[in-house]
Amino acid sequence: MVGYLFAGQGSQYVGMGQDLYQAFAESKAIFEQADKVLGFSISNLCFSGPLEKLRPTDVSQPAIFTVTIAAFEAFKARVDVKPSFAAGLSLGEYTALVAAGCLSFAEGLRLVRQRGVIMDEAARKYPGKMAAVIGLPSDKVKEVCLVAGSQIANVNAPGQIVISGKVEAVDKSKALLMQSGAKRVVELAVSGGFHSSLMQEAAGELKMLLDKTAISEPRLPVISNFTARAEYKITEIRENLASQMYSPVRWEDSMRFMLKQGINKFFEFGPGKVLKGLMRRIDENAQVINIEKKEDILNLESG
């Protein structure tokens, strides 16, 4: 059985998607549509940067979303695969919903652009940061968070947890986590304390946008980051997307859910190989094939 995985924020780089644009009509059409919908050239930012302009969350989110769908559309036109489930890491959940037919590409793009704007505004109003904790069990991380006032933002894989919160709380947590035996605590290159209570006000704004957005029932079950299970009802999809903004991303639980359903082969769409690396920690026997560049699709087509 096959599952689809969709990349999250932080995997952006200058040049992403350019070879897809040049090689595949489906990808080119996605980039051209994205430029029209957004009213500025997201394709030029993806292809030429500079990285400083690609990094802000209100740009990186629509950029990664567009590149990921460009790869997905080119793949879908050339490779005959029938997936059983889909999941995406944070931002990637929106891409998964487009792949499942819940959202049109244009509606999804408008949503993630506005999501990025809302998150950026919240980050300015309530300054925060995030850090990845490597090599410490989740119960130990939770203990430190309770003492320092930070929160768990992502449970990505065994030994890889992300914390979030106010700047001083995350700084205090970093020192305590190292004292508690963490191998490393690495600050993430993000502009705020996402997936924490700092985003609760922003989640209310996002919910109002979601309520106005046309969402269809999924043709393919999509795993919610918030519940770590497949969701089918439109009302629950809307609620979960809003809750996801200030709640932990349960990625490890989501992957274990898919594995228990019998999924043993995954296609990861979008820039980078983050999800493949996380799966290696969750279940080293699961196969993950990256769909990021022209060669990834051509190799499957010829094979």
**pLDDT tens digits, residue range 57-92?**
899 999 999 999 999 999 999 999 999 999 999 999
- Residue 25: partners with Cβ closer than 8 Å, 6 or more residues away: none
Residue 279 contacts residue 158 (beta carbons within 8 Å): no
Question: Residue 293's CB: how many other CB atoms inside 10 A?
Answer: 17
**pLDDT tens digits, residue range 83-94?**
999 999 999 999
What does the mean pLDDT of the chain come to? 95
Report the percentage of the chain scoring pLDDT > 90.
Answer: 94
Query: Which residues are marked as active site?
Result: 90, 195
Q: What is the mean pLDDT of residues 145-153?
A: 97
pLDDT for residue 10:
82
> Domains in the chain, start-ordered, CATH in brackets?
2-124+196-302 (3.40.366.10), 127-187 (3.30.70.250)
pTM, two decimal places: 0.95
Residue 202 contacts residue 118 (beta carbons within 8 Å): yes
